Amino acid sequence: MKPFFIKNLTLEQLEAWVTALGERPFRARQLYRHLYARNVSSWSQCTDLSRSFCARLESDASLHALALSRVDEARDGTRKYLFRLHDGNFIESVLIPDPPRCTLCVSSQAGCALGCKFCLTGSMGFKRNLETAEIVDQICHALRDPKLGPEINSLVFMGMGEPLANYDEVLRALTIITDPNGLMFSHRRVTLSTVGLVPQMRRLGTETAVNLAISIHAPNDAIRDQLMPVNRTYPLAELMRACREYPLQARKRITFEYILLHGVNDSPAQAKELVRLLGGVRAKINLIAFNPHPGSIYRTPPEEKILGFQDVLRKANLTAIIRKSRGSEISAACGQLAAKAVNSEE
């Protein structure tokens, strides 16, 4: 029988559940504090709850939605967590120390159905959506990491899967993550990345204030159609219209992620095309040199091409940052989360 994961519940839902057990509603607030502010690892740590209630929790509710299978660490300090799900599937999260930021990259699906050609995760296929508890528990586990957990100050939904294809569970997780009584992350410190599922983007802008990032990776439909099948459903004109209409808060911008592929999308002419594409959007661009992986047909551009691409964007008064590759030797870099570690655990 499938476990009942208590972290699937928002505070309001937890109050209803606790009341149905015959407990008073304030017990839910106590329990919520233990789950997130205290981040307990066992019910025995909830010492202000009655023994009978703790016994009920022990028998009826699962505190942990994930089992930590392995932690790998790269030379640059990047740490990758491999988690086993209750049904035997695996997911990965990555912790990236880059002072003053320490960022946890969170997964929202086991595998991915979108099939972006440069992404190793897409090659493993789609297993299933993650539940709210399985998303939130990645953060709870990482926060308990004695090495870097206390340093975590930002979250990015850029791990395995497309967050907006698992909209309801991700939104519920965001509610818990940004709740001042929950995991207490400011919306300014949480970023959700999407390939551009336009209908869900329009909902997202009205239902949460977290940062938005778009995995764009091409300056025109011809190239993006080849790299990202989703572009045939939501082509760039439709995607950019949604970006221009997105309800950004003051001082916020949409981040555009652009993986540079040698000879595919890295020329100065394509950089100028990207400038025109982003016209009218409050934007910043993260340029990411492709991280090679076995079986890929793509290559990393030489440094002079990367710098030249950035220079075109900067001369157009766009903020363009070259993101350093982190954790590539443990397959933790951008686009590398996939079944390699999973298969070794089966």
Could you list the active site residues?
92, 334
Please state, in angstroms and rounded to a whole number, the distance separating the CA atoms of residues 212 and 194: 8
Please state, in angstroms and rounded to a whole number, the distance separating the CA atoms of residues 146 and 142: 9
Say which residues have a Cβ less than 8 Å from residue 168's Cβ, sequence separation at least 6.
none
Secondary structure (3-state) at 322:
strand
* β-pair type (190-194, 126-129): unpaired
Query: Which residue, 252, 336, 340, 248, is CA-closest to 292?
Result: 336
Please state, in angstroms and rounded to a whole number, the distance separating the CA atoms of residues 85 and 80: 16
Say which residues have a Cβ less than 8 Å from residue 277's Cβ, sequence separation at least 6.
219, 220, 236, 240
Please state, in angstroms and rounded to a whole number, the distance separating the CA atoms of residues 193 and 252: 15
Q: Would you state the structure tokens that stand for residue 176, as one six-digit string? A: 């818990």
Secondary structure (3-state) at 132:
helix
DSSP conformational letter for 226:
H
Please state, in angstroms and rounded to a whole number, the distance separating the CA atoms of residues 342 and 333: 16
For the beta carbon of residue 185, count every other beta carbon within 10 angstroms.
21
- Would you call the peptide bond into 247 cis, given omega within 30 degrees of 0 as the criterion? no
DSSP symbols for 243-308: HHTS-PPTT--EEEEEEE-TTTS-SHHHHHHHHHHTTTS-EEEEEEE----TT----PPPHHHHHH
Q: Is the dihedral of CA 8, 188, 240, 274 positive or negative?
A: negative
C-beta of residue 343 within 8 angstroms of C-beta of residue 127 = no
Query: Which residue, 163, 149, 259, 169, is CA-closest to 211?
Result: 163
